[in-house]
Amino acid sequence: MKVTKIHLLSAILASSLLVGCASTSSTDDSAADEQARMEAQSAADTAQSAADARARAAEQARNDSEMANLVSVFYFDFDQATLSSSTRGALDAQISVLRNSDGNVRLEGHADERGTREYNMALGERRAKAIADYLTLNGISRARVEAISYGEEQPLSGGSSEMSYSKNRRVELK
């Protein structure tokens, strides 16, 4: 009888070990399936992220190419801050590109050396604000536009001829 009890306990122990092994195998299979599913999802997410990055890079390159072909320096008549029709046309092209981007715009106003330093600073600011106002009226958020003035401090051309002066009466869009 003692031997039978030992055999019976051994048989029960062996069966429980086999049942435990069987369930572990099933658990291992489902864990392996879950791991494979997660790796496949991760690979798909990585591929989508790479495709999105390529699309953004292509869009940026297209915008950069368009910006490279646009006029970014706008000239003014003596002692004026009004926009000419050619300036408005060039700004319209800038606006169409700016609508497709979210970057900020910096407008740097300049003046020639005639007049006092203070007057030229104010004139450069009026010129930059005239362009800023035009951009804003045509749909570019004012929060994206910064207008500053350098007055006569950063001339493009030295000299005292009308040709030199006309190059210095400008607003640069950056």
Q: Find the domain containing 108 and state its range.
A: 70-173
CA atoms within 13 A on the CB side of 138: 19
| 146 φ/ψ angles, rounded to the nearest 5 degrees | -115, 130
- For residues 110 and 157, membership in a common domain is answered with yes
- For residues 140 and 86, membership in a common domain is answered with yes
CA atoms within 13 A on the CB side of 163: 1
| 51 φ/ψ angles, rounded to the nearest 5 degrees | -65, -40
pLDDT in tens, 135-161: 999 999 999 999 999 999 999 999 899
Residue 44, both tokens = 């798909």
* Structure confidence at residue 15 (pLDDT): 60
- For residues 115 and 152, membership in a common domain is answered with yes
**Which of 16-20, 65-69, 91-95, 145-149 is least confident?**
16-20
pLDDT in tens, 74-110: 999 999 999 999 999 999 999 999 999 999 999 999 9
pTM for the structure as a whole: 0.64
- For residues 60 and 93, membership in a common domain is answered with no
- For residues 106 and 54, membership in a common domain is answered with no
Task: Name the E strands within the chain.
Answer: 73-75, 105-110, 145-151, 170-173
Residue 142, both tokens = 């004012």
CA atoms within 13 A on the CB side of 18: 6
Among 66, 83, 106, where does a domain finish? Answer: 66
CATH of the domain at 161: 3.30.1330.60
Q: Any residues with CB less than 8 A from the CB of 88 and at least 6 apart, and which?
A: 134
Work out the number of other CB atoms within 10 angstroms of the CB of residue 23. 10
